[in-house]
Amino acid sequence: MTTTTAPTTSTTTSADGTTIAFETTGRGPALVLVDGALCSRTMGPSGDLSAQLADRFTVVRYDRRGRGGSGAGSSPYAVGREVEDLLAVLAAVGGHAHVLGISSGAALALEAARGGAPIDRLAVFEAPFILDDTHPANDPLLPERVQELVDRGRRGQAVATFLRTVGAPAPMVLLMRLTPVWRKLTAVAHTLPYDLSIVVPFEQGEPLPDGYYDAVAVPTLVLAGGRSPAYMRSSQAAIADALTGGRLDVLPRQTHMVKAAVLAPVVADFLTSTS
């Protein structure tokens, strides 16, 4: 794949006909970033990560379906459709690439790897699973509850429900409603059930199913923040243990809102390592 340092924006088409927009920048092996809930190329960690990584990789940032420049979806939502979207991006940037997934994007990237996606090396930061009793389980019907709020036009309540579920204090959520970012969040509220569909089955306080990640054949770095809650750190350890080629690394003083300047060098070293 020929790369340049100047950002270029392109589109590809997923298996169900949905247009997926992506941007490439940098020089080197392709590295696809998979965002978490409510994030896109214009909002979230991928911009800062791209700036940190573009000196060593051709960084590919794409809008997951229903966000930014990507289509809303040409078929009913299923996790498999989002896996197909990632496969379409991988095909468009050379047929294979490294992948870095953040939060629910980490869970999505792992699902793609389970299905044999052409991933060279995989790094995942804090797939938001609850796999033991160190945190109450989330409502298994949460995706449906949030979808109902969206369908009734109560996008703000859908976003607030999600934020409270992931631990944002009520006063913070109230303050966020008064900021310009709130409009951006509510604009993509319809995608929250997508992310919840990916992660809620793994937020029930039960261990991963036996052999769940046995099919993941690529070397995988599983990352957690040293200041993240116990359930988050223990779930990342469980994911790493379940992967044949898995390795766990804990980033000191980091939380789920990880700093790009801390995450990027660790990921870059792993992706370029010969071991």
How far, in Å, CA of 54 to CA of 103, rounded? 21
My answer on whether 162 and 67 are in the same domain is no
- Average pLDDT over the chain reads 96
CB 46 within 8 A of CB 39: yes
| DSSP classification of residue 168 | -
Which of the listed residues 176, 199, 222 is the one where a domain comes to its end? 199
Whole-number pLDDT of residue 7: 87
My answer on whether 212 and 161 are in the same domain is no
Whole-number pLDDT of residue 2: 42
| CATH code for the domain in which residue 27 is found | 3.40.50.1820
Q: Tell me what the mean pLDDT of segment 150-161 comes to.
A: 98
My answer on whether 122 and 227 are in the same domain is yes
Q: Tell me what the mean pLDDT of segment 41-69 comes to.
A: 96
Per the structure, the count of domains in the chain is 2
Neighbour-count burial for 180-191, b at 16+ CB within 10 Å, e otherwise: eebeebbbbbbb
Domain presence at residue 2: no
My answer on whether 218 and 173 are in the same domain is no
| DSSP classification of residue 250 | E
Let me know the angle formed at the C-alpha of 222 by 216 and 228, rounded to the nearest 5 degrees: 145
Residue 195, domain extent: 142-199
Which of the listed residues 183, 199, 215 is the one where a domain comes to its end? 199
Domain presence at residue 1: no
How far, in Å, CA of 209 to CA of 217, rounded? 17
**Percent of all residues in the chain with a pLDDT value above 70, rounded to a whole number:** 99
pLDDT reading at 3 higher than 80: no
Q: Tell me what the mean pLDDT of segment 248-275 comes to.
A: 96
My answer on whether 230 and 116 are in the same domain is yes
pTM: 0.96
My answer on whether 68 and 117 are in the same domain is yes
DSSP 3-state of 222: strand
Identify the band that residue 163 occupies on the pLDDT scale cut at 50, 70 and 90: very high
Identify the band that residue 275 occupies on the pLDDT scale cut at 50, 70 and 90: confident
Domain presence at residue 20: yes
My answer on whether 44 and 125 are in the same domain is yes
User: Which amino acid is residue 24, in one-letter code?
Assistant: T
My answer on whether 128 and 254 are in the same domain is yes
Each residue of 190-219: pLDDT tens digit?
Answer: 999 999 999 999 999 999 999 999 999 999
How far, in Å, CA of 114 to CA of 198, rounded? 14
Let me know the angle formed at the C-alpha of 138 by 136 and 141, rounded to the nearest 5 degrees: 150
Domain presence at residue 98: yes
My answer on whether 117 and 225 are in the same domain is yes
Each residue of 65-85: pLDDT tens digit?
Answer: 999 999 999 899 999 999 999
Whole-number pLDDT of residue 194: 97
My answer on whether 129 and 56 are in the same domain is yes
Beta-strand pair 30-34/8-13:
unpaired
**Percent of all residues in the chain with a pLDDT value above 90, rounded to a whole number:** 96
My answer on whether 60 and 156 are in the same domain is no
My answer on whether 52 and 108 are in the same domain is yes
How far, in Å, CA of 55 to CA of 27, rounded? 6
Whole-number pLDDT of residue 48: 97
CB 103 within 8 A of CB 194: no
Domain presence at residue 3: no
Q: How many residues does the chain have?
A: 275
Each residue of 4-29: pLDDT tens digit?
Answer: 577 899 999 999 999 999 999 999 99
How far, in Å, CA of 211 to CA of 177, rounded? 43
pLDDT reading at 251 higher than 80: yes
Domain presence at residue 174: yes
178 CB burial (10 A radius; 0-12, 13-18, 19+): exposed
pLDDT reading at 1 higher than 80: no
User: Which amino acid is residue 97, in one-letter code?
Assistant: A
Which of the listed residues 161, 177, 199 is the one where a domain comes to its end? 199
Neighbour-count burial for 230-240, b at 16+ CB within 10 Å, e otherwise: ebbbbbbbbbb
pLDDT reading at 264 higher than 50: yes
